Amino acid sequence: MNKLALYGGEPVIKEPLKPYISIGDEEINAVDEVMKTGKISGFVGAWCDEFNGGPKIQELENAWSNYFGVEHSISVNSNTSGLIAALGASEISPGDEVIIPAWSMSATAIAPIFYGAIPVFADIDEDYFCINPQSVRKNITNKTKAIIAVNLFGHPAQLHELKKIAENNNLVLIEDNAQAPLAKEDGIYSGLIGDIGVFSLNYHKHIHTGEGGICTTGSDELAFRIKAIRNHGENIVDEVGIENITNLIGYNFRMTELSAAIGLCQLSKASNLISKRIEIASRMSKEISELPGFTVPKIRKNCSHVYYVWAAKFNEELVGVSRELFAMALEAEGCPISIGYVEPLYYLPVFKKKIAIGSQGFPFNLTNREYHSGLCPVTESLYRKELIELHVCSYQLDDNELNKVIDAYKKVYELRDELRKNNKTEL
């Protein structure tokens, strides 16, 4: 450990780490059974028995509802389509404002635009990285229609507090729960506290179907509207006798029978899969917390964290080198490393240039909202210099490999003087 790999020393991790793979024989056999039936999809885009999909779709939706204890679960082909359907079901209209966190995957910010709504960015909490209720309150106007709370990195947002804000202002609360299946706040699963929860079954999540998602709700009306938007709802309004047809022009957001079969297997072992991610992240926190200058992930009282990402804060002044240089040294040691998560969403060209639907600036031509640097200072600070993360759902990490990851962090930390000496411009 006397020389950093960055400067010619032997790396701690000599072989690429094994990727996290949760698909096994159960999923292979389940897919094989569906293939033998010849029924790969069971949806029909008209009002009939098949409007709600085939037998595996309905089995998955029922199993999901039973597992989480929710009235309705609606399968979709991605978390993104689930967000779009959730907003449509909530009757979002052109010019409405939807408050979202400045930090998330881009789909959170783009989904409202499909209905001509205006994304309004709230800052995040500096300890738990989720949308800050105080910032939400500051951004509410008479145009606000909904809040999207992202349970980022696997930790719940302040969902009950946000629910109160939503109820007091007659707003819809949607949870983007892509990264936090089985996380809880006050004993209730995230994804179930808002009016609608949206889960991801994308291939790099805790459990997955390759691509896919699930919307959950306790509302009969919202559930029906999500199903209509999922499956060409314009075709059913007369037969069903729907009077309020707002946003019921539908998409094809349908999941296949193959994906549903995989989803059933993944759901059956979700607890074990997620528990392993928690074990890895908890061990990382225990070991790395000993290094001054690192603040390991915090868990808010009465919450549980499922660690899609192990996200720590890095204090450049205490460590004595920049986050970027520390990360370069970790990478040279063979350690998978990421910094800053994603840039604040309002940095995306769609917001900088205010061009989205068509070439005339719709829907931004319906608002005076501006998107600029400094809009959400906590998010920007974390992005630019503080956050350092391990993507827990990207690597298998048995005990031996996890030990090496931890050893890499400790080696770079112990030899940070070497980084300083070789980089004269550092702190």
Strands 172-176, 196-200: pairing is parallel
Look at residue 358 and tell me whether its pLDDT is greater than 50: yes
The pLDDT of residue 426: 42
Confidence grade of residue 1 (pLDDT, cut at 50, 70, 90): low
* pLDDT tens-place string over residues 271-310: 999 999 999 999 999 999 999 999 999 999 999 999 999 9
The confidence score (pLDDT) of residue 425 equals: 44
Structural domains in the chain, sorted by start: 5-20+270-342+377-422 (3.90.1150.10), 25-269 (3.40.640.10)
- Residue 283: C-alpha distances to residues 12, 289, 309, 312, 369 (Å): 18, 10, 13, 13, 44
Give the pLDDT mean for 332-345.
96
Per-residue pLDDT reduced to its tens digit, 9-61: 999 999 999 999 999 999 999 999 999 999 999 999 999 999 999 999 999 99
Single out the residue of 147, 37, 35 nearest to residue 90, CA to CA: 147
Within 8 A by CB and 6+ apart from 345, the residues are 100, 102, 103, 104, 106, 108, 109, 119, 121, 351
Mean pLDDT of the region 192-198: 98
Q: What's the rounded mean pLDDT across residues 222-238?
A: 97
What integer pLDDT is reported at residue 342 of this predicted model? 97
pLDDT tens, residue by residue, 81-116: 999 999 999 999 999 999 999 999 999 999 999 999
In the predicted model, what is the mean pLDDT of residues 206-234? 97
pLDDT tens sequence across 111-149: 999 999 999 999 999 999 999 999 999 999 999 999 999
Q: What is the pTM of this model?
A: 0.96
Asked if residue 423 has pLDDT above 90, the reply is: no
Q: Which of 44, 45, 28 is nearest to 36 (CA)?
A: 28
Cis-peptide, bond into residue 112, ω within 30° of zero: no
Residues with Cβ within 8 Å of 307's Cβ and at least 6 positions away in sequence, in order, are 153, 154, 277, 278, 280, 281, 297, 392
Q: Averaged over 396-401, what is the pLDDT?
A: 95
